[in-house]
Structure 1
Amino acid sequence: MNDLLPKYEEAKNQLTLKQKVGQLFMPAAFINDTEEEVQKLEYLINTLDIGAICFFHSRASAATNFEGKKKVVHNEKSYDRLLQLIERYQKAANIPLLIAIDAEWGLAMRIENTPQYPYAITLGAIQEQPKLLFDVGKHIGLDCLNAGVHWNLSPVVDINNNPENPVIGYRSFGDDRVTVTSKSLAYIQGMSSVGVLNSVKHFPGHGDTATDSHLGLPVIDKSKETLMENELFPFKKHIQEGVDSVMVGHLSIPSLDESGNPSTTSYPIITELLRNELGFNGVIISDALNMHAVSKHYTEKGTLEAAAFKAGMDMMCFTENPTEGIAEILNAATAERIEESFRRVWQLKEKAFLSNGSKQASNPMEFEELNRKLAHFSLTECYGDEATIQKLKAGQFLNLSIGSPVENLFSKSVENTLERQHHQVKSENLTDITQLVASNENVVLALFPPAVKPKGVFGFETAILEFIRKLIAQKNVLIYLFGNPYVCNILESEANSNLVIAYQDFRVFQEVAFEHFQDKFEAKGKLPFQMKSASHS
């Protein structure tokens, strides 16, 4: 592979039309693939002049295993494997590849044993600290850069205004358009400062849906005026600020396209709205084209890619049929239309390869220190009657926990420092714990939800969830929640319930939560969405 990327003016004349179309394709690359699959992708890259690849963990991970039927095998050496594969795929390429990944909360989203930063919802709780958001973007950018990744397909700028959302939720900065916009701008500025490309997603807004577009096509039945006012607000602002790329989600929005076509193959949404009306001149990239919201509608190989291109798409992400897709586009599109997309993609490549982005050594201490600051500024008190809390802490209380984090540092600290024996609540000891609770008025409960997504009430067993609800209703309870704050919506907590949200179960977040429990600092975070009232059931 020639490491030197020619400038667009040269490339325009050097590449054939077929090579130019190949540059618009981004197949998935799996870190934990078999040698046979790796060689297949090397062959495609080499023979089709593929322009970009996007890395995922494995074929059993959420990106392909939508129903969760395959078991994900963890690989402690995934990071080393990623570096080897990037080198191999770049060697196979005649034209340098753009390497992309979803690293919304760091490479840890896809790769074991890499720095993990908080979810967007945690960052959404932080008040008036744009520098911290900038630092998160910068750290994630450096981690990408050091791995050989040019393009972080983040951040999510969807406004999560539906608490039942199965696929956005904790990946959003919240339900307020201004918060979502300001946080994502700071995050992007951090990434850009080290020369890593970005992508705002999922246009025109995936926040107000209860359907997972991996499985089906969500329908958003809102007027164009409402969407412009809210869902499209962050996208408009990012376009004004010069975002590198916009990712289009798989959504049916009748007010924008009455045909019911998914936005990924919609000319009115991609070309008329995003390109012409909102004035976006950069690269438009699709959400993964393997997702059932669109793939089910295009059974003939290559027709989905061609339909997306015809609608105005520049880059086909997670294309499963590049050979057929390239042939279909060559057969149907004009040379001028191909050149438009090729120019945009090539100029993005130029920015990645010719930018001043420089590798810098990541300092593990800096990463831990940043997470500690984020823990301090995000920790949120909800409801909470201060007098009751102080009375509870000063007297006798039961030290309980629910869930199985890697390490329950919080409950251990309560046990070791205050000599309150820790009891982990499980379905098999529920009778014994219930008896313990009966003879105690006060309870401190560390809550580690089994799952981060709302499907199946965040993984809670029915008996355990009922136990929590009864505890809240009948006792003086102080809950520390180490997980997705949307869990609050299923707890049936009352306005006088004492709830502290720590958001993450990382070691430093637990340490900071215990400092808060000891009254060493005041909570500064604010819940980034409106909580449901307890009257629901």
Structure 2
Amino acid sequence: MKKLLLLIACCYSLNTSAQKRPPFIDFLNQRNTWVDSVFKSMSHAEKLGQLFMVRAHTDKGVEYSEKVAKLIKDNHIGGVVFFQGGPERQAALTNQYQQLVKVPLMIAMDAEWGVGMRLDSTISYPFQMTLGAMQNDQLLYKMGEQVAKDFKRLGMHINFAPAVDVNNNANNPVINFRSFGENKYNVADKGIAYMKGMQENGILTTAKHFPGHGDTDVDSHYDLPQLNFTRTRLDTLEMYPFKKIMANGVGGVMVGHMNIPSLDPTPTLSSSLSKPIVTGILKNEFGFKGLVVSDAMDMKGVVKFFPNGQADVKALIAGLDVIELSEDVERAIKMVKKAIKAKQISWEEIDAKVKKILYAKYWLGLDNYQPVSTANVFRDLNRQESTTLIQQMADASITVLKGTAAFPLRNDFVRKTVILNVGSSENTVFSNTLKKIKPGALVINIPKNVGELELATIRTTVKQYDQIVMAVIDSRSRPASKLDFPNHLTQFISEFSTKNTITALFANPYVISGIPGFERSASILLGYQNLPEIQLAASKVILGTLKANGKLPVSVNAFFKYGDGILMR
């Protein structure tokens, strides 16, 4: 049968390069012989299997991989979502999994800032919050192009990105730095640019997390957030970027797990299980025709109140096309069959979902599936054009909130200069770059676990200098809204935020609100996260070789609001 399908693909494929076909949304309206032929060949069991995408890793050993393989083969699974692991191992495992199925698998990854979000020895781009500061959206399009190249090199087809949640809650524990910021227009524009860069290069994308997860203080991985906003508020703010990106041709939408009484008053019901939200608003009212995908269905936000497979069935009834990461696929399929017999959902509805999935597979070129080359994977994923782009994005994101008079920093003998790396136990790209111009400057590295006695000694030393360059560095892989520094170190930052200090923050901008007196520094630069490229960009601004033009994408306190940033000419 697999050979027959490949023969059908060869006979009826009009063009095997997805990027040369019409946009996916437009493509759905066309009659497709390959889709029809494959669909007619499928049993009921094969159709139901297409609705599910299962989790895969390449860092959990052979036994785990074999367990996933059995799940795929036994249940005719439609897709795989890869998480942590290595690129070479993933390429090889993708080929193994593809050999198990009659209809090629649709391979996905949740890679908001590139495959480096999940895979070792690969490239990560800056976080969305960082990119929200840029004034050049064309760089986002180029990032989409590069991410698409990486996906295709690894045999992947869908990126569960971009996140177009409007993050207007500094205490949001789950979106936060994953958002382009608090301004709906900026979020929409940057989400569209990133989406187009991927989709116009043959990768399907899903805007997430509909209807909008930006103003929550509960992480839906662990509980069900509630959005107590009016329909008018949701329409004009949270859902605005989704409407804009859908109007620009996004191929998929991922529905998040939130309880929203103004859209569906059912108590404890997640938006991902709500027919009024998924079918009523997203599909009927907004007219979205593309793939509707669930957020992970093993998250507590959805299964806490609908356990033991209930959530999977309710999600399909609500109107979702693809169930991502069911807790138990075999159980879910059995329960869907029971729901069909009970007339809770019809085969006609199932068939429509399956056909849409097959259309996506055809658009992605899976009608002419080719195995992934396992040679030179590392080299191909670590391209110079990608690293050059990251530096360009870093340069474009640096934001000067205050005080350009101190730039450029010069090698003079008038002022004694000390460079502080607060939060780092070793020299940084930032301090090393400045030292090249000011070789006489003293560099002091202050790890975040510094003791009070040691810090007291450092304080005495710093007071002997009349010019301070202070880098505040959050070394965590995912920077939160509050620094994980001890109080005495935060107080040290406050004490030396003075008229003699140039302060560079390589951390989540929201942390500013937890540092009293931060605004007193003579000059303040925001780098948003701790990347070497961003540290280099900040040092170039201080040395006068780069003109900063970033704008603050969120409001952090009364001193620093959305849109703040000195444009340097």
> Measured at CA, do residues 440 and 392 of structure 1 come closer, stay the same or move farther in structure 2, by a change above 3 Å?
farther
Alignment match of 2:398 (pick from 371, 379, 403):
379
1:93-130, CA deviations, whole angstroms, 9 ceiling, x for partnerless residues? 22200000011111000011101111111111111x23
Does the 8 Å CA contact 1:399/1:444 hold for their aligned counterparts? yes
Alignment match of 1:525 (pick from 532, 550, 557):
550
Aligned to 2:455: 430
> Measured at CA, do residues 175 and 392 of structure 1 come closer, stay the same or move farther in structure 2, by a change above 3 Å?
farther
| Residue correspondence of structure 1 range 227-246 to structure 2 within 5 A | 227-246=234-253
The one-letter amino acid of 2:62's match is E
Q: Give unmatched runs, 5+ long, in structure 1.
A: 59-77
Return the alpha-carbon distance in structure 2 between the equivalents of residues 308 and 406 of structure 1: 50
Return the alpha-carbon distance in structure 2 between the equivalents of residues 516 and 303 of structure 1: 55
Does the 8 Å CA contact 1:451/1:458 hold for their aligned counterparts? no
1:177-206, CA deviations, whole angstroms, 9 ceiling, x for partnerless residues? 111111111111111122011010000000
Return the alpha-carbon distance in structure 2 between the equivalents of residues 511 and 264 of structure 1: 42
- Secondary structure of 1:54's aligned partner: strand
Question: What TM-score do you get using the length of structure 1 for normalisation?
Answer: 0.90
Question: What TM-score do you get using the length of structure 2 for normalisation?
Answer: 0.85
Aligned to 2:132: 124
1:412 pairs with 2:432: yes
Return the alpha-carbon distance in structure 2 between the equivalents of residues 356 and 139 of structure 1: 23
Aligned to 1:64: none
Alignment match of 1:477 (pick from 480, 494, 501):
501
Give the C-alpha shift of residue 30 in structure 1: 1.4
Alignment match of 1:195 (pick from 196, 202, 219):
202
Does the 8 Å CA contact 2:361/2:367 hold for their aligned counterparts? no
Return the alpha-carbon distance in structure 1 between the equivalents of residues 367 and 163 of structure 2: 24
Return the alpha-carbon distance in structure 2 between the equivalents of residues 96 and 199 of structure 1: 20
The one-letter amino acid of 1:263's match is S
- Secondary structure of 2:469's aligned partner: strand
Please say which of residues 244-253 and 460-469 is displaced more in the overlay.
Answer: 460-469
Does the 8 Å CA contact 1:441/1:475 hold for their aligned counterparts? no
Aligned to 1:278: 286
Percent of residue pairs bearing the same amino acid type: 33
Give the C-alpha shift of residue 512 in structure 1: 2.2
Return the alpha-carbon distance in structure 2 between the equivalents of residues 109 and 197 of structure 1: 18
Does the 8 Å CA contact 2:166/2:181 hold for their aligned counterparts? yes
Give the C-alpha shift of residue 216 in structure 1: 1.1
> Measured at CA, do residues 433 and 355 of structure 1 come closer, stay the same or move farther in structure 2, by a change above 3 Å?
farther
1:140 pairs with 2:147: yes
Aligned to 1:74: none
> Measured at CA, do residues 508 and 227 of structure 1 come closer, stay the same or move farther in structure 2, by a change above 3 Å?
same
Please say which of residues 10-19 and 193-202 is displaced more in the overlay.
Answer: 10-19
- Secondary structure of 2:528's aligned partner: coil
Give the C-alpha shift of residue 259 in structure 1: 0.8
Aligned to 2:418: 398
- Secondary structure of 1:423's aligned partner: strand
Aligned to 2:69: 42
Aligned to 1:10: 37
Larger-gyration structure (1/2): 2
1:387-428, CA deviations, whole angstroms, 9 ceiling, x for partnerless residues? 466699862232101223886111122234302121011313
- Secondary structure of 1:191's aligned partner: helix
Give the C-alpha shift of residue 327 in structure 1: 1.1
1:171 pairs with 2:195: no
Aligned to 2:55: 28
- Secondary structure of 1:285's aligned partner: strand
Does the 8 Å CA contact 1:306/1:328 hold for their aligned counterparts? yes
Aligned to 2:233: 226
Please say which of residues 391-400 and 214-223 is displaced more in the overlay.
Answer: 391-400
Does the 8 Å CA contact 1:27/1:320 hold for their aligned counterparts? no
Does the 8 Å CA contact 2:434/2:543 hold for their aligned counterparts? no
Aligned to 2:310: 303
Give the C-alpha shift of residue 492 in structure 1: 2.9
| Residue correspondence of structure 1 range 153-164 to structure 2 within 5 A | 153-164=160-171
Does the 8 Å CA contact 1:286/1:316 hold for their aligned counterparts? yes
Does the 8 Å CA contact 2:278/2:318 hold for their aligned counterparts? yes
Return the alpha-carbon distance in structure 2 between the equivalents of residues 285 and 304 of structure 1: 14
| Residue correspondence of structure 1 range 309-458 to structure 2 within 5 A | 309-332=316-339, 333-353=345-365, 364-382=383-401, 384-387=402-405, 395-404=415-424, 408-418=428-438, 419-426=440-447, 427-428=450-451, 429-451=454-476, 453=478, 457-458=482-483
Aligned to 1:109: 117
Q: CA RMSD in A?
A: 2.5
Does the 8 Å CA contact 2:292/2:322 hold for their aligned counterparts? yes
Q: Give unmatched runs, 5+ long, in structure 2.
A: 10-33, 340-344, 561-569
1:73-107, CA deviations, whole angstroms, 9 ceiling, x for partnerless residues? xxxxx111111211111112222000000111110
> Measured at CA, do residues 34 and 496 of structure 1 come closer, stay the same or move farther in structure 2, by a change above 3 Å?
same
> Measured at CA, do residues 12 and 93 of structure 1 come closer, stay the same or move farther in structure 2, by a change above 3 Å?
closer
